[in-house]
Amino acid sequence: MAFGSEAGQGRLVRFALASAWRRSRYAFHSGVLYRWRHLGPVPDRLLIAPTDLRTADPTIAHDIYAGRYVFSGEAVDVAGFSVFEIEAPSRSWAAALHGFGWLRHLRASELTVSRSNARALIDEWIRFQKSHDPVARDPVVTARRIASWLAQTPLVLEGCDHGFYRRFMRALTRQVRQLRRVVHDVPPGRPRLAVTMTLAAAALSLADQNRFVRQASRLVDQELARQVLPDGGHVGRNPAAVLDILVDLLPLRQAFTARGLQPSPALLGAIDRMMPMLRFFRLGDGSFAKFNGMGETQLGLLATVLAHDDARGSPLRNAPHSGYQRLEAGETIIVMDTGAAPVPALSAEAHAGCLSFEMSIGRQPLVVNCGIPGPNALALRRLARTTAAHSTVTLNDTSSCRFLTGGLLAGRLGEIIIAGPGMVESSRQEERGQTFVTAAHDGYVGRFGIRHERRLFLPREGTRLDGVDSFTSPNGGPVARGGKDGFAIRFHLHPAVKASRIKAGQAVLLVLPDGSGWEFEAAGHDVLIEESIRLSDIRGSRRAEQIVVYGRAMHADAVHWHFEKVAEGGPRRRSEAGETEMLGFDEGDA
């Protein structure tokens, strides 16, 4: 798709109209005039409590008991007030509070007051619900709250009095009915799937809900068919989506079994396809490669989900439907983005990182993308989505995607992608343990008439990666003269990697934490080291460096570069300055 073209404007108009229609339906279905459609008696009991696979930290229970609530990196001390009466410091903090996911920490603690504390907090929420932050009524937050209440019923209901039991069941049933009214009006993608999975879990957990079990199961099947691709990736292209969906889908499968019901083939098939993708996205340190909104990997949660993988096979190498490639040889693992931008409705988290890659050596990340910051760092989040924040090529200091930012429209629709790579061609060849991957995109064709192609070659030993970035006209010919053709090839380095220029600026020596040495070189081009940043939604930002090769496509239509291992890791010692030094390796040896 042409960048900034009439086609891109047409996509925006169509999405805006569809969003407005969906919002109007939501306003009607969530209003008082429609509530009569879902009136009925309150179920008198719960049949099962779905499993919560999310990891729990008992120490957080101590903070909650002391009136200290830490969500999304922000801490609030309630100082004797109800936590549901205070003004939330941010939307993400309020969503975490009203989602009640923190109940699992109370259950994991050994405090004798955990049960009474959990019941008191739920009672407070019920009592103050009319004055809650509007975030509490968001369908996704409501779904998270219902799922948390259901999963933690052994903590909340065991030993409770009859009055609390009835209040709890009335509040739970009312929220489930609210979700049923608006399920078709929830934004498409992961939000709608999360709501449908919660409705299915609620129907299985509550008594006398057979009709709703069938209805919710059909909705889950429909959303899985729309969102889970044939190779197991998610249509929104965020690796985190695979883990997030499985965290709720696996307990849902167990809930069907606990009720003596057979999960649908669509549900079982989605799980079977997604499980291998968890291993596909993992680098050598166990974390997911950071593409399209992927933040820090919850390694404990990932291990818990992988324990449910019956196949336990090798990861996929090629995910053509999701738009990713995996290269693996020796200790080297590479994951490359070879996919087009998602449709606007699913692109609020997507990045302009087409043809970028991440690379690890053993358990050590070497080449990375910048990652994402916390949810409240809007300026950094915008920076993280640009092409320059990824290990790929930028042309004329612009991104390969165009984002809707600022203004009333962005506030209503989100900062979606309205234009970007629409045609991404990729191919893969494997021969005798060697892997060749070639991919090209048209994200810059509309503005600059330049098509970017990247080729990677990884031999069986895994001790060298060869790459070529080439620039052509849309028909494959030379780049037209007189146009804007300045390029920058960026390779962001992990903060633990130490970089220094060698060979009179023609190469860069890279020293990894274990002391091993790698050399980067781009034949015939100066290689620069510039500042970079490593963003994290958990650990905060860290200073890093990046390798950059500048040039003009008209003069250099193909840039050949390589990473090559030049020294093994060895024993290390502490210098007097406290820095780690490697024995037996001299930069001059490179």
Q: Are 432 and 440 in contact (CB under 8 A)?
A: no
Residue extent(s) of CATH 2.70.98.70 domains in the chain: 335-589
End-to-end CA distance of the chain: 44
- Distances in whole angstroms, Cα of residue 259 to Cα of each of 47, 48, 156: 8, 8, 21
Q: Residue 58 CA to chain centroid, in angstroms?
A: 26
Burial class from Cβ neighbours inside 10 Å (0-12, 13-18, 19+) for residue 22 reads middle
Q: What is the pLDDT of residue 10?
A: 76
Phi/psi at 353 (5° precision):
-115, 30
Q: What is the pLDDT of residue 170?
A: 94
Q: What is the pLDDT of residue 457?
A: 98
| C-beta atoms surrounding 577 within 10 Å | 6
Give the number of C-alpha atoms closer than 13 A to the C-alpha of residue 351, restricted to the C-beta side.
32
1.10.3720.10, 3.30.43.10, 2.70.98.70, 3.90.1150.10: CATH of 335-589 = 2.70.98.70
Closest C-alpha among 199, 224, 197 to residue 211: 199
For 427, residues 6+ apart whose C-beta sits below 8 A from its C-beta are 437, 438, 439
Phi/psi at 578 (5° precision):
90, 5
- Distances in whole angstroms, Cα of residue 94 to Cα of each of 13, 90, 97, 99: 32, 6, 5, 8
Beta strands in 351-461 (DSSP E): 357-361, 364-368, 393-395, 402-403, 417-419, 424-431, 434-441, 451-458
Q: What is the pLDDT of residue 579?
A: 41
The tokens of 480 are what?
A: 């037209």
For residue range 164-193, what is the model confidence (pLDDT) as tens digits? 999 999 999 999 999 999 999 999 999 999
Q: For the chain, which ranges sit under pLDDT 50?
A: 1-4, 572-590
For 396, residues 6+ apart whose C-beta sits below 8 A from its C-beta are 448, 484, 485, 486, 487
- Torsion sign (Cα): 354, 281, 494, 510: negative
The tokens of 134 are what?
A: 């509007």
Q: Are 322 and 315 in contact (CB under 8 A)?
A: no
Q: Residue 89 CA to chain centroid, in angstroms?
A: 24
Between vectors from CA 60 to CA 56 and to CA 65, what angle results, nearest 5°?
A: 130
Strand partners, 435: 430, 458
Strand partners, 500: 509
Closest C-alpha among 325, 293, 314, 460 to residue 389: 293
Distance CA 576, CA 350 (A): 46
For residue range 316-351, what is the model confidence (pLDDT) as tens digits? 899 999 999 999 999 999 999 999 999 999 999 999
Distance CA 539, CA 382 (A): 18
Q: Are 267 and 325 in contact (CB under 8 A)?
A: no
Q: How does 82-109 read in b/e, with b if 16+ C-beta sit within 10 Å?
A: ebbeeebebbbbbbbbbbbbbbbbbbbb
